[in-house]
Amino acid sequence: MGRGERDVVARGARLSEAARAVVGDHARAVEAVRAALKPIHDAAVQRELEAIPVARLQDVTEGRLRLGSVEKSGLRTVGDVLAAGPYRLRQIAGVGQRTVDQMLAAARRLSEAVHETVAVHIDVDRWEPRTTALVVALHVLVEAGPDARRAVDRATEVSERLDPLLADARPAAGRVRMLLAGQEKRARAVRAVAAIRSLVGEAERADLPELLAQASVDLLRGPSSDLAAQVDFELRSAEYYSLLAEISGRLSDEAAAEGFLPDEIVERVRNQPLDDAHRRVSLRGYQAFGARFALAQRKVILGDEMGLGKTIQAIAVLAHLAAEGKSHFMVVCPASVLVNWTREVEARCALRVMVLHGPDRHDAFADWKGRGGVAVTTFDALRGFPAPGGDEVGLLVVDEAHSVKNPKAKRSQAVALWAEHCGRTLFMTGTPMENRVVEFRNLVRMLDGGVADALGERDALAGSVAFRKAVAPVYLRRNQEDVLTELPSLQRTDEWEELSASDEEAYREAVRLGNFMAMRRAAYRRPEKSAKLERLREIVQEAAENGQKTVVFSCFKDVLGVVQEALAATATDGVTLFGPLTGGVPAGRRQQIVDDFADAPGPAVLLAQIQAAGIGLNMQAASVVVICEPQIKPTIEHQAVARAHRMGQVRPVRVYRLLATGGVDERLVRMLEAKTRLFDAYARRSAVAEATPDAVDVSDTELARRIVEEEQARLGMARESLTAREPLTAGESLTAGE
C-alpha cells in the first residue's frame, strides 16, 4: 500500500467526519427546538386538563365511577384530580382505593390523549420569553432550508456506506500495519480502499463535501436578534409550523391527511417516489402525499380546501418530473393569479417560468416550445395555442378547475383537448362540487371517462360514501381542520341589522320591480341612512383601533364604491384604503394592490369584489373580513374567507357577514345552508348524512325567482316577472359595472 491508497483513506475519513458533523449539528438544532417546545407544550396540556370537568372521567370508564363526593371536595377538573394524587384522593369520604385507582387511570388516559392532540400556538401580538426561545430555535432550521435536510439525508447515507469500509481499510493507513495484518485482512483492506475511492469520487463529483460544509455553517448560524426571528416567523409562519409539527411528532390524522382514500390507492401512493432535487421548499406530510397521489394516479383532481398549499404540491410534482427528464409544463389559471403563479414557481423550484399572456403570447409560446420550462397562461389564451403532440408536455396543471365544469364553454373544450393530449393532468380546485353532481362529473370526464361513467345518479343520491368511493381514483381532498392544527381561530359572526326606513323603501321598490340584484344591494342605495353601512364603519373602526387590517368583500362594484366613499369620509387617522379590486382591474395590478395592502404599516382596508379577489390571491395580512351581503353560492364565501384564514396566517381571523332582517338576506341564508350541507356531503367530508335529492337541482336562476316571488307575496305585491336587466350570478356581474 502506497501514498495513493493512504490518501484515499484520508479523503474518506474527512468525508465521514464532515457527514457526522452535519448529522450532529442537525440533531443538536432539533434537540434545541424540543427543549424550547416542552415547557410551552406542557403548559398547554395543563390548561386543557384544567378545562376538562371531572364528569368526563365517567365517559372514559363507561359510567362506572361515582364522582359526587369528589366534586364536593373541591376537585372539579381532570387537572385537579391528577394534581391531587392518590393520597389526597383516598382522604375523600366515601372514596375507596379501587375508585382512586380507576379515577387516576381514567385521568391519565385523558392526559395522554391531550398530550397527543394539543397544538402549540404562537401569539405574535403577545411575545413572551418561552415562545421567543422556541421561534429562535426553529429559525436555525427554517433558515438552513431544504438543502440542510437534503445534506443530512446524504450524510446519513454516506456514513452508513463509508464507515464500515474505513474500518476494513484501517490496515492500509500505514505500511507496518499492513505488513502485520493477516492475509484475509489485507485483502479486505484492498477491496475497501477501492470502494472508498469510488464512493469519495462519486461524492466529490456531486459536490457533496461543499453541500455538507454549507449545511454545517447554516445549522450553526442563529438569528441576528430575537426580533429578527420574530419578524421572520410572521413572514414565514407556515414553514415554522411545518417544522414544529414534524419535530414534535404531533402530525395530523393520517387517514384525514390521505383523504380517506381506499387502502389499495393509499398503498400505491405511498410507494411513489418524490424527487426533491429541483425543489426549494419543504413539504408537509399531507402535501407530499398529495404530490405523490398526482404522480401515481397520473390524471387527478386535487380538491384540498383553500389554504392548504395546492400550488406548492403542484410545484413538487413539476420538480419531480423535471428530475425525471421532462422539460415542458403548462399551467392554466385565471388571469388574476398569473403573477402569483409566476412568483411561486420562481421561489419554490429551480425551473424556468414563462408567462404566455398579452399581445406577445404567441412569440412567448414559440420560445417555450423551443426552450422548455413552466408556461403559465390563462383559460382564454390557451384556446389560441395548438394542442401538444405525443409526450411533449410533462404535466398540464389547471388551477381553479371548477371554471371549466361547463362542457359547452369554449374554455372547457380547450382544456379538455389539452388534457386528452397530455399524459399527466392535475386539476386544482377547492370547490369541485357546488350545486350539482353532474358538474363534478364533467370535470372527472376530462381525466377518466371510465370513472365518470361509473359515477351515475345512484351515487349522487346514495350519499357521500358511495360518491367518494367512486371518484377515489381521480380525486383527493383534505380540510384545514384535519391537517393544519396550528391555524389560529376563525370566528364567524352574522351581523343582523334592522333596515332603516330609507333602506326599507329602497328594498320595497326593488321587490316591486322583481329585480333580484337590486334587492340584494338595496341596503346600500341610500348611504346616509344605511344600517349595514353604519355597522361596517364600526367594525372597520374597531379593527383599526386594534391595529388590524380589514378586507371588505362585496359582489357589487357600486356597493364597494359606496363603502369607499363612506370610509374615506370617516377614516381614522393612519388607516389607508386600497382598491376597489374588481374584475376590471388587470391581473398584474390586482396582485400589486394586495402586496401594497400587506406592506402598509399599521391598519388598512382593502375593498374587493368577491369573485375577483376571492380566488387565487393570498390576503394573510388581513385578520378581519367583512362580507357586505350573503352570496348565492356558499363556496364563494368559503373561498373569500380562505384568502385570509389559510396556512401562513398568524392571527385569529374574525369574519362578519352583514345581513338585513326580514327579506332577501334571510331567505338566501336559509337556502344556502342546504347548499352547504350538499357540498359537505359530496366534496368536503368523507362520510356524512345522505343529501336530499331536491337540493341537487336548485339553480341560481330558480333560486332568485323563488325568492322574488316569495318576497312579493310577503309584502302584498302583485307578482312581476324577474327582470332581465341585470345578471343573476356574481360571476356574470364581475365586469358589468354593478
- pLDDT confidence of 483, banded at 50, 70, 90? confident
Please tell me the predicted confidence (pLDDT) of residue 680.
56
Are β-strands 395-399 and 475-476 bridged in parallel, bridged antiparallel, or unpaired? unpaired
Query: What 3 state SS string does 137-151 have?
Result: HHHHHHHHHHHHHHH
What is the Cα–Cα distance from 384 to 584, expressed in whole angstroms?
22
* Cα–Cα distance, 689 to 703 (Å, whole number): 24
Give 572's DSSP letter.
P
Element (H, E) at 475: strand 475-476
Identify which of 291, 680, 282 has the alpha carbon closest to the alpha carbon of residue 481. 680
DSSP labels for 269-338?
HHTS----TTB-S---HHHHHHHHHHHHHSEEEE-PPTTS-HHHHHHHHHHHHHHTT--EEEEEE-GGGH
> Please, what are the domains in the chain?
1-250 (no CATH), 253-482 (3.40.50.10810), 489-733 (3.40.50.300)
Return the H-helix or E-strand segment holding 535. Answer: helix 531-545
pLDDT at 690: 28
The model's pLDDT over 491-524, given as tens digits with 9 standing for 90+, comes to 788 888 888 899 999 999 999 999 999 999 999 9
Entry pTM: 0.64
Locate 330 and state its grid cell. 403548462
Residue 476 confidence (pLDDT): 92
733 pLDDT higher than 50? no
Q: Rounded to the nearest 5 degrees, what angle is found at the Cα of 20, between the Cα atoms of 15 and 24?
A: 150
Confidence of residue 355 (pLDDT cuts 50, 70, 90): very high
CA trace torsion 200, 202, 204, 207 (10° rounding)? -140
pLDDT at 212: 93
Give me the pLDDT at residue 314, please: 97
CA distance 35 to 37: 5
Cis peptide before 580 (omega within 30 of 0): yes
Q: What percentage of the chain has pLDDT greater than the value 90?
A: 39
CA 155 – CA 212 distance, rounded (Å)? 7
Contact predicate 700/713, CB 8 Å = no
Q: What is the pLDDT of residue 232?
A: 84
Model pLDDT for residues 169-186, shown as the tens digit of each residue: 877 666 556 555 667 777
Q: How far apart are CA 519 and CA 497, in angstroms?
A: 15
Average confidence score pLDDT of the chain: 83
pLDDT 10s digits, 377-394? 999 999 999 999 878 999
Return the pLDDT at 727: 43
Per the model's pLDDT, the better-predicted residue between 600 and 427 turns out to be 427
CB 54 within 8 A of CB 81: yes
Judge whether residue 341 has pLDDT over 80.
Answer: yes
DSSP string, 372-421: -EEEEEEHHHHTTSPPP-TT--SEEEEETGGGG--TTSHHHHHHHHHHHH
Instruction: Look at residue 477 and tell me whether its pLDDT is greater than 70.
Output: yes
Residue 615: per-residue pLDDT: 59
Q: What's the gap between Cα 663 and its chain centre?
A: 36
Reply yes or no on whether the pLDDT at 695 is more than 50. Answer: no
For 523, the grid coordinates are 341596503
Q: Is the pLDDT of residue 572 over 80?
A: no
Q: How far is CA 468 from CA 63, 261, 430, 440, 464, in A?
A: 37, 8, 15, 12, 6
More confident residue, 301 or 235: 301
| pLDDT reported for residue 446 | 95
Helix intervals (H) in 571-659? 587-599, 610-613, 634-642
More confident of the two residues 455 and 292: 292
Do residues 482 and 252 make contact, with C-beta atoms less than 8 angstroms apart? yes
Residue 136 CA, chain-centre distance (Å), reads 24
d(C-alpha 304, C-alpha 284), whole Å? 14
Distance CA 576, CA 241 (A): 31
Q: How confident is the model at residue 620 (pLDDT cuts 50, 70, 90)?
A: confident
- In a 3-state reduction of DSSP, which class is residue 11? helix
Please give the Cα distance from 508 to 501 (Å, whole number): 11
Tens-place pLDDT, residues 11-45 = 999 999 999 999 999 999 999 999 999 999 999 89
Alpha-carbon distance of 597 to 591, in angstroms, equals 10
**Phi first, then psi: what are they for 301, rounded to 5°?**
-110, 120
Q: Looking at the predicted structure, is the pLDDT value of residue 675 above 70?
A: no
User: What are the tens digits of pLDDT across the range 91-119?
Assistant: 888 888 888 888 898 888 888 888 877 87
* Contacts for 309 with CB less than 8 Å, ≥ 6 apart: 238, 284, 287, 647
Over its C-alpha atoms, the chain yields an Rg (Å, rounded) of: 30
- pLDDT for the residue numbered 568: 87
Model confidence pLDDT, tens digit, residues 211-259: 999 999 999 988 888 888 888 887 778 788 888 888 887 655 677 788 8
C-alpha cell at 31: 434537540
Confidence band of 434 (pLDDT split at 50, 70, 90): very low
Tell me how long the chain is. 738
What is the reported pLDDT for 584?
84
Res. 435 pLDDT band, cuts 50 70 90: very low
DSSP state of 734: T
Q: What is the pLDDT of residue 688?
A: 26
Cα atoms found within 13 Å of the Cα of residue 719, Cβ hemisphere only: 8
Q: Residue 554, SS3? A: strand
Predicted confidence (pLDDT) at residue 290 exceeds the cutoff of 80: yes
Q: Say how far apart CA 286 and CA 252 lie, in whole Å.
A: 8
- CA pair distance 163, 15, nearest whole angstrom: 10
